[in-house]
Amino acid sequence: MAQAYRLDLLLALLLPVVGALMPGTVVRLNEAVLSYGKRCALIPGFNGGPPSSPFPLCRIQTLNVHVPHFHLKFIADFGVRMLVAANFTFKVFRVPEPLKLVLPVVLLADAQVAQGSIRTPVVSISACFALFNSAAVLDAPAPSSPASASVLPQLCLSISNLVQGLNVHLGTLIGLNPVGPESQIRYSMTNAPNITKDYISLDISAILFLLGKPIVLPVDVTHFVLPPNVGADGAMATVGLSQDLFDSALLLLQKAGALNLDITGQLKSEDNLLNTSVLGQLIPEVARRFPEPMPVTLKVRLGATPVATLRTNNATLQLQPFVEVQAVTSNSAFQSLFSFDVVSEVGWWGCLGGWQLPRSHFLPHFPQLLCSIHGGLPAMRPLMDTVFKRPLLDHLNALLGMGITLPSMVNLYYINPEVFVYEGYVVISSGLLYQR
């Protein structure tokens, strides 16, 4: 059985999912992320081995690298251009005595961003040029120096190695991340990145799995396009979550039975309203059948899939549970008293988990509930509103407390998020924090 489950999960990852489109997410890296990238960038030291030069017995040690100018910019329909001006301070070990000198270097590199074979972003260096001026000798004059011959090839090689390491991290965008005990979510790119002079935008599909099987919406999924100029100005990352993603998550919860709950009151509690004595005051038949107070349980079952509605600055979640009222008899058996339908509308707001989480998450929170009851006796509505509202809110907040993992990669976290609700989608504007 375990082997069959693993095989189903592997096939779900490798084979196309039914339907041309899956719930959409857009991750937009704005120009502000380039400034953060410059702060994180390190120019590594270069220790030259025996160079091919007129000084075959000397070796070179990099003492210091000062970077007075570091500029990154987006190149539309291509990727990123990097321009670096640096001053390398070297110590040249030579005979008869060592030599210390400073070599000014200008590095220009173009990095193309594309879609890889495993549907993750891939960066490649298309061009790299390193230029240098005459070296300034600090200690003593020298006729010539092998420093430039050692530094220039290694500069472009180091940039290439840096990009290879970045691609390894970008590869962690895909893969399963938990949503619940038996459910997961997987992100992957759907096409090549959209690159403008202001941002790089990644169209990403989100597939939710329950017991290794993908959740497929009963209606066609529309292609999600994130409009320009949404969210907060100056944010490093803008993440758009489509209506279809919320619909898929709710369908998963409904299929897993996670939204079902039992509401039970404690008989000896002074403020307990869930007992046959209270119900008997409203329904004489209950008082007749249960002359002694007995506990009452509300079995809440969700047959219909919840519906999320996203409007500008407003979002609601509509639930339509079926509630069966059961009483505990003297022999501890449950006896059904009556049942009714409930239409509940929940207003919610969202926030992101901090960077200390294994991944940054989107955490819906439900602070209020508007509840109307259809079916049953009208006299029951005030009581049901009192005993039903708080347990339902507590259950929803506890259930969704784990959140939905946002598209991310290893060691990269969302920080200081702001959440915006628009017509049909949600936007998260956030800073980014990279930790090794």
Query: Tell me: the pLDDT tens digits for 28-79?
Result: 999 999 888 766 654 444 433 333 333 344 477 778 888 888 899 999 999 9
Provide long-range contacts, Cβ within 8 A and 24+ apart, for 155-159.
Answer: 155/46, 155/105, 155/107, 155/128, 155/130, 156/107, 156/109, 156/125, 156/128, 156/129, 156/130, 158/43, 158/44, 158/46, 159/82, 159/107, 159/109, 159/125, 159/128
Cα separations in angstroms, 217 against 178, 248, 295, 309: 20, 6, 40, 16
What does residue 249 show for φ and ψ, rounded to 5 degrees? -65, -40
Residue whose entry in the numeric block shows the structure tokens 């109307």: 372
- Give the pLDDT confidence score for residue 347 in this predicted structure: 74
Position 201 confidence tier, pLDDT thresholds 50, 70, 90: very high
Percent of the chain scoring above 90 in pLDDT: 27
- Give the pLDDT confidence score for residue 199 in this predicted structure: 96
Query: Tell me: the pLDDT tens digits for 368-390?
Result: 666 555 555 667 777 777 788 88
Question: What's the rounded Cα separation, in Å, for the pair 211 and 220?
Answer: 23
Query: Tell me: the pLDDT tens digits for 403-419?
Result: 778 888 888 888 888 88
Q: What does the DSSP 8-state code read for residue 400?
A: G
Domain segments of the chain as ranges? 32-172, 198-434
Position 18 confidence tier, pLDDT thresholds 50, 70, 90: very low
Query: Tell me: the pLDDT tens digits for 167-193?
Result: 998 888 877 788 877 888 988 899 999
Q: Model's pTM, two decimal places?
A: 0.81
- Give the pLDDT confidence score for residue 367 in this predicted structure: 66
Query: Tell me: the pLDDT tens digits for 94-114?
Result: 667 777 888 888 889 999 999
Peptide bond just before 96 cis, omega within 30 deg: yes
Would you identify the CATH topology of the domain 198-434?
A: Bactericidal permeability-increasing protein; domain 2 (3.15.20)
Query: Mapping DSSP to helix (H, G, I), strand (E, B) and coil, where does residue 236 land?
Result: coil
- Is the per-residue pLDDT at 123 higher than 90? yes
- Contact criterion met (CB below 8 Å) for 81 and 72: yes
